[in-house]
Amino acid sequence: MATVGHQLRGESPDGPGGAAAGLTGGTSPDTSRDALPGARPLDEADLRPWLILATIPGLGPRSLNRLLERFGTPEALLGADGSRLAAAGARPAVIERLRDPRPDLVAAALDWAQAADAHLVARPDPRYPARLGELVDAPLVLYVRGDPQVLADPQLAIVGSRNPTPGAGETTREFARHLAACGLTITSGLAVGIDAAAHRGALEAGNTLAVMGTGPDRVYPAAHRDLARLIAAHGALVTEFPPGTGPKSEHFPRRNRLIAALSLGTLVVEAALQSGSLITARLAAELGREVFAIPGSIHNPLARGCHALIRQGAKLVETAQDVLEELAPLLAPFLGPELPLPSSALAPTAESAPVTLTPDAERPPGGASRTTRAGTSRSRPAGSPGGEDQLAGWAQDRPSPGTADALVGEDADYQRLLEALGSDPVPVDLLIQRTGLPANQVSSMLLMLELQGQVSVAPGGRYCRLFHSPP
């Protein structure tokens, strides 16, 4: 069956999935990728005054947009004298900065845009996303690497912790993969943790958009250079910061507002109470966007931000279908009557323990994971040799209680296993997959951790970590 994305791109389900870099036709940002009659990207002469304004140090888009409302065009604003600027409400510091543009930054931006997949998208450009135009501090110019048409696609932001639990990272990747396959472009901030998992999951099935807190020629963190290249090839990287701009702490809240504004909704997977993801969710709510949150264990401190959002009115999400159903009215302009929303039978759940899937992997009917979830004995993994002799051997080899705490605290394998555990119950086979440790060793270590009160056993032979937080 055709997906939302196929119809948006005017493709058959079996047609090519990626648009070529350097497209020049304009789009309608609200409904489709069809070019508007006579619409075209701005040429260099038209772009230059916008770049002059956008690259003036110390002048933000809020002040510039307010002045542009008064003067109409960047040429008129740049040509206004001090008295007219003052009459329009410009402070002396703003007037002084308008008189001191940076032609070197303008030249650097134009040079950067010579690359085949580099695009400068100013406010009048038909490719400029209409949703960003709702911001009072909408960027005057966007620097895009990849396909700028992706900016107009229906998007879902997925954000969360930079240090998620293993289960949250896997859930994020599975949700992103499924929702991208349904035609949503997955938008996030290219950070480590949940952001990276969202991008990678989306790349397995569709498009993703990364909003950056640096210039378009920088990647932060540097470890994500390869990921950034993949995103540019199968989506887009976008920033409001000119080439040469490095990462600064004040850039990332500005990045977050673009993530919230570009998307129809924001899904928070795992976030502490002080997480920057809650800022993105708040900005989304202020813009009238949908806010979703996946709940977690009450013992997991990284779930408290999601629980707080749910108490404040965010939609509790258990499956990807929950997101699609809530967004259905907003997706209507992108869908034809013959294209229903996907069946919930294919939607991953937040409670499942999903596995990392390759781009061509498919889930079996009914949404079951491809990894076997056989019931596992507490004493050993399913399928391992056992019996009373083996249990007796464990009893002989097991350290005495007096030395157990020291062994666990110092042993790197125990630390790896504890990091692989989360507050939600996890089957032993998934712990073996996460740690790379032999099955018999994992079972023995789990027994030791259970005796120490560091893990507990749930029905079905699943284990979860005990954090001993106060009630």
The two three-digit tokens of residue 171, written as one number:
């859930």
Please indicate, yes or no, whether residues 282 and 402 belong to a single structural domain of this protein.
no
Contact 17, 11 (CB under 8 A): yes
> In CATH, what number is assigned to the domain containing residue 410?
1.10.10.10
Q: Would you say how long the chain is, in residues?
A: 471
Please indicate, yes or no, whether residues 335 and 408 belong to a single structural domain of this protein.
no
Asked whether the predicted pLDDT for residue 233 surpasses 80, the reply is yes
pLDDT of residue 462: 81
pLDDT of residue 76: 95
pLDDT of residue 299: 81
Q: How many other C-beta atoms are found inside a 10 Å radius of the C-beta of residue 62?
A: 11
Strand partners, 186: 156, 208
Q: Which range, of 125-139, 186-200, 263-277, 429-443, averages the lowest pLDDT?
A: 429-443
Task: Please state the φ and ψ torsions of residue 145, each to the nearest 5 degrees.
Answer: -115, 120
Contact 318, 351 (CB under 8 A): yes
Please indicate, yes or no, whether residues 439 and 327 belong to a single structural domain of this protein.
no
Where is the domain boundary, 310, 332, 367?
367
Please indicate, yes or no, whether residues 361 and 402 belong to a single structural domain of this protein.
no
Please indicate, yes or no, whether residues 404 and 338 belong to a single structural domain of this protein.
no
pLDDT of residue 408: 52
Please indicate, yes or no, whether residues 219 and 280 belong to a single structural domain of this protein.
yes
Residue predicted with more confidence, 299 or 245: 245
Please indicate, yes or no, whether residues 403 and 297 belong to a single structural domain of this protein.
no
Domain that holds residue 360: 145-367
Distance CA 450, CA 167 (A): 20
Confirm whether 413 is domain-assigned.
yes
Where is the domain boundary, 367, 397, 421?
367
165 band by pLDDT with thresholds 50, 70 and 90: confident
Distance CA 93, CA 186 (A): 40
Residue predicted with more confidence, 411 or 471: 411
Where is the domain boundary, 336, 367, 398?
367
pLDDT of residue 3: 43
Confirm whether 296 is domain-assigned.
yes
pTM of the predicted model as reported, rounded to 2 decimal places: 0.69
* Total structural domains within the chain: 2
Confirm whether 334 is domain-assigned.
yes
Q: Label residues 359-394 b or e (16+ Cβ within 10 Å = b).
A: eeeebeeebebeeebeebeeebbeeeeeeeeeeeeb
Whole-angstrom CA distances from 105 to 41, 178, 294 are 21, 41, 43
Please indicate, yes or no, whether residues 343 and 290 belong to a single structural domain of this protein.
yes
> In CATH, what number is assigned to the domain containing residue 178?
3.40.50.450
Kindly report the average pLDDT of the chain as a whole number.
78
Confirm whether 66 is domain-assigned.
no
The two three-digit tokens of residue 345, written as one number:
């039978």
416 band by pLDDT with thresholds 50, 70 and 90: confident
Residue predicted with more confidence, 65 or 443: 65
Please indicate, yes or no, whether residues 207 and 316 belong to a single structural domain of this protein.
yes
Confirm whether 103 is domain-assigned.
no
The two three-digit tokens of residue 83, written as one number:
């008295």
The two three-digit tokens of residue 262, written as one number:
């570009």
Please indicate, yes or no, whether residues 355 and 395 belong to a single structural domain of this protein.
no
The percent of residues in the chain predicted with pLDDT above 70, rounded, is 74
Confirm whether 89 is domain-assigned.
no
pLDDT of residue 35: 38
Confirm whether 115 is domain-assigned.
no
Confirm whether 249 is domain-assigned.
yes
pLDDT of residue 39: 54
Residue predicted with more confidence, 163 or 228: 228
pLDDT of residue 371: 30
pLDDT of residue 103: 94
Please indicate, yes or no, whether residues 161 and 237 belong to a single structural domain of this protein.
yes
DSSP calls for 308-336: HHHHTTPEE-SBHHHHHHHHHHHHGGG--
Please indicate, yes or no, whether residues 318 and 354 belong to a single structural domain of this protein.
yes
